[in-house]
A and B are shown apart, each in its own frame.
Chain A
Amino acid sequence: MPLDRRLIQNFEWRIVLTAFLLAGLGILSIYTATATATLPLKQHLYLRQATWFAVGAVFLLVAVTINYRTAGRFAYLFYGLAILSLLLVPFFGRVGLGAQRWIKLGFVAFQPSEVAKLALVLCLARYFEDRKERLTALRTMGGAALLTLLPALLVVRQPDLGTALILLSAGIALMLLVGLRLRVAVPVGVGLLALAPIVWTFLKAYQKRRLLVFLNPNLDPLGAGYHVAQSKIAVGSGELWGRGFMAATQSQLNFLPENHTDFIFAVLAEQWGFVGSVAALGLFCLLITRGLEVSMEAKDLLGSLMAFGITATIGLQALVNVGMVLGIMPVVGIPLPLLSYGGSSMVMTLTAIGLLLNIRMRRFLY
């Protein structure tokens, strides 16, 4: 197929630039957060993250070149594989940080729950596209709910409450977008809330504790409470202009545990202050609004839903993570897309962004 000139014309450079800027900021923050780390293994994390960024960029390129309708055609297969890998985690999974989340493939370990996020979005987009004549039918919505619940339940068992909540939210967002009526959504929501006590029994002790700590931070000053207290000190002491590169004592001196993963935003906020934090938030805003625009301009339901799902997943994670670091949302363990340390998250996010570009490029083709 000869390359259509309009494809190049419609390539959305701003999205790529924003994503790469955020990833660069992430690598820099990981470098400063781990420069004085006690474990030799951790001192090289920024190099590993840079490697993952390079791998992710290749995936992005591949995702750009393959027509998103082709991706839609394989959506169910992709979803099936994601579910299968989630099912395999308890058997072949590697245990880390008290949970079993990784599967080892040769010399790389990947996190099936990260793959599940993109798989769910693609699968739901395809599912609604197939049923566009009866989108709001109860049957359709019920099916979508089941498709969402399956990976969410498998992920919550790992246990990874944060990712499970993201999966649920992404599913619900897509359902609302295609027209789930509030008069249906509200009773279902109330029903689900009634199920909360059952879900509560499934949660691990530390997850319950984190939710309780959110309600009362003084409950656990050593665990989750300590995270939030230290995170607030780190962010707050950044003041307007920040303490400067490599001068962030709170996040660098290991006062803040897990600073290179879920709390990376605190490292950034302490170093670059209010100005830097707002700039980073601005980049995320740009990414989200551009993503939503792609969704609005897409020429078919599949593209529109895919773009929306991808944007919603990235946006939700970003906003919830920052809220968590700032102490206004519970600490549920959600990585900050593109910034937090983690190979699976980086590669999957960049792949998703590739798809987003892909949808935008082909908006004139149908």
Chain B
Amino acid sequence: MTAWHTLNPAPAIQRRVGRLILVVTAVVVVLVLRLWHLQVLEGDRYVAMARHNRLRLRLVEAPRGILYDRYGQILVDNRPSFDVYLVPEDVTEPERTTARLADLLGMPAEQVAEKLAAGRIRPFTPLLLKAGVPERTMVALEERKLDLPGVGLRVHPIRAYPAGSLAAHLLGYVSEVNQAQLAREEFRDFAPGEPFGQAGVERRFDAFIRGIDGGEQIEVDVLGRITRLVDRTEPQAGFNLVLTIDRRLQDAAEKAFAGKNGAVVAMDPRSGEILAWVSNPAYDPSVFTQRISVEEWETLANDPRHPLQNRPLQGQYPPGSIFKLVVAAAALESGIITPSTPIDCPASITLGNFTFEDWKREGRGVMDLRRAIAESCNTYFYQVALKTGIEPIAEMAREFGLGGELGLGFGDESRGLVPTPAWKQQVTGEPWYPGNTLNTAIGQGMVLATPLQVLTMVSAIANGGALYKPWVVKRVESWQGEVVEEYGPEVLRRVRVSPETLRILREGMWAVVNDEQGTGQRARIPWIEVAGKTGTAQVVRKQLGQDRRGPKDHGWFVAYAPAHSPEVAVIVLAEHAGFGSAAAAPVARAVLEAAFPLPTVEVPRERRPVAPAVRQPTAPLPSPEPVFGD
């Protein structure tokens, strides 16, 4: 029994602690002896090692993972870049070295001298003198290496874009971590100059793509020349990504949309997979692979056409007549109308002192919902919206994912705007007027949506009510092909809309493309049934009547095909291009044509015509030219 339960526990603990003091003393004695050994007995040796035998760690950069399309086509790859470095401490004759380098690299001598002087603060750290020199310069430097102590050459992988600026906004770009990032806690493991995915997939999946750098421990002599490679750890390449993008659709979309500004996105409505992603004007991601100059950056960042903006995700536009689908759904669900309720479509309606016009100057008579959608009659929807009221319409819009983030996971996603009386009161201090309801009914006024939101909404209509989260990466794979992560469809929610209502909307969208008076006839494809909806978003200046010759309206078109079992949905937004029917519908058609190419008919072998080229020659053909020599 220990003595602890007695009043005086001292003897037991004193005995044990006393023993412990002995142990501590013994350990300290060992440490002191070790210090004596290292610092006094062997101190000379270590001083010599510190002075002469300089072990250096040299980074061997890991190549980033490759980005593939869904069928394994390379979208982003790596290529070697040849860089020239200086280790200031090892440059023995600065003037001669500066002159020679300036000559070989085609740089002003002052610039080399300046860099060298700046590097004196950290004399042992290799300093990048010039990145991406041509291979022949590399060879020339290699030959004169002995005359140029302190000059180092390095090959390191940088991003290559075999497809140019294809899908640039989705893939993103890679550049060195900048000073502002380095100052942040989350970048505490980064060294200056390290490559980092700065946008799009490259940023979102950087941790997967970046790989693990290797290193070399090298021994250098007094002149800084490598005397021995002590050890090398191979870098581990980053993981590859297989994207959901379909290169064929992407190419078709880029080609059809060339020269226009705006966005084109294709999606599989059955899963939310992004198949194509175009944001124009685009930028060339390869300008970022070498250090980008301040001027270059500012030119890009201050371009009035905003090439860095990721329009499908960040651009907010009035959805125009596409919003009529929301109004129709709200009216049907609240029982205000049935598909066959006859409503007149006059040239204009008057509300108080204001006249609200249809986009067609002449009235079009009484019509049902299907025709109203197909012909996109404004006055029909004004009346329906007034009966339904703004609240159910706003609620329906939010149900379809408007006015909120979809969670694509990269880039700053815009939320869009679904205006309500409460919102208006809070922001403008003004009450909601019936006129606001009318404007909202045709997707004008305050309502804003991103192209991706509209596409997701229409995909939900097409697939029978599932609002899928858009996604772009199917798989993360190691270089050995092992699947590291796999992603799949994710339903954000099932929209609370009856299947019957959705069916009616789809019927209306079919009519848009296929009816005689439909506004989307330019999206018709003879061998596949297409459904769609046009939209024209008025540009405010023109709406206010201040400048009739101002920029043209934005044209929208959203479509999916095959109409009865949709596999591909496409959204097109053409900025300042006029009516959606003319500006956007042909682009959507081009994308759908790429998705569903004209089927070729299989003809049985015996019925195939025999091509002349295939015929076997009965006699040797005469030589077309006389044969010389031998």
A contacts, CB < 8 Å to B? 36, 38-41, 94, 96-98, 109, 132-133, 135-136, 176-179, 221-223, 226, 229-230, 232-240, 249-250, 253-255, 269, 273-274, 277-278, 281, 285, 288-289, 292, 295-297, 300-301, 304, 308, 315, 319, 322-323, 326, 328
Contact = CB atoms under 8 A, between A and B. Distances in A.
Given A230-B55, A304-B13, A235 B50 contact: no
Interface in B154-188: 179, 182-183, 185-186, 188
A296 B10 contact: yes
A232 B49 CA distance: 10
B5 A132 contact: yes
A232 B46 contact: yes
A135 B34 CA distance: 39
Contact of B233 (A94, A222, A278, A285): A222
B6 to A, nearest CB: 10
Interface stretch (B36-44, B263-271, B539-547): B36-44
Nearest to B47: A237
Given A38-B125, A253-B124, A301-B9, A232 B38 contact: yes
Contacts of B9: 300-301, 304
A17 to B, nearest CB: 20
A273 B183 contact: no
B260 to A, nearest CB: 43
A40 to B, nearest CB: 6
Contacts of A319: 24, 27-28, 31
Nearest to B187: A41
Interface in B116-133: 121-125
A366 B538 CA distance: 85
B34 A328 contact: yes
A38 B217 contact: no
B57 A295 contact: no
B136 interface: no
A237 B45 CA distance: 8
A39 B357 CA distance: 63
A41 B34 CA distance: 35
B217 A326 contact: no
B191 A38 contact: yes
Interface in B226-255: 230-233
A40 B179 contact: yes
B21 interface: yes
26 contacts: A39-B182, A98-B189, A132-B5, A179-B2, A221-B217, A222-B215, A222-B233, A233-B49, A236-B43, A236-B45, A236-B47, A238-B39, A239-B44, A239-B47, A240-B40, A253-B122, A253-B124, A254-B124, A281-B35, A285-B24, A285-B25, A289-B24, A296-B13, A323-B27, A326-B31, A328-B34
B2 A296 contact: no
B14 interface: yes
Nearest to A136: B2
Contact of B4 (A221, A285, A301): A301
Given A239-B40, A240-B43, A250 B50 contact: yes
A40 B182 contact: yes
B185 A296 contact: no
Contacts of B223: none
B185 A274 contact: no
A349 B39 CA distance: 30
A289 B23 CA distance: 11
A135 B4 CA distance: 8
Given A222-B57, A274-B35, A308-B17, A38 B47 contact: no
Which 10 residue pairs spanning A and B have beta carbons closest together?
A236-B46, A239-B43, A274-B39, A237-B50, A236-B38, A221-B231, A237-B46, A237-B47, A179-B2, A222-B215
B192 interface: yes
A132 B1 CA distance: 11
Given A236-B43, A240-B39, A253-B122, 9 more contacts: A39-B191, A41-B188, A233-B50, A235-B38, A236-B49, A238-B43, A239-B43, A289-B24, A319-B24
Nearest to A173: B20
A25 to B, nearest CB: 16
Contacts of B35: 235, 269, 274, 277-278, 281, 326
A72 B51 CA distance: 54
Contacts of B21: 289, 292
B30 interface: yes
Given A132-B5, A222-B231, A222-B233, A326 B34 contact: yes
Contacts of A178: 2, 4
Contacts of A136: 1-2
Nearest to A235: B38
B31 A281 contact: yes
A237 B48 CA distance: 8
A170 to B, nearest CB: 13
Contacts of A296: 10, 13-14, 17-18
Contacts of A96: 185, 188-189
Contacts of B43: 236-240
A276 to B, nearest CB: 10
Q: Indicate the member of B27, B40, B50 with the most A CB atoms within 10 Å.
A: B50
Contacts of B50: 233-234, 237, 249-250
Nearest to B28: A285
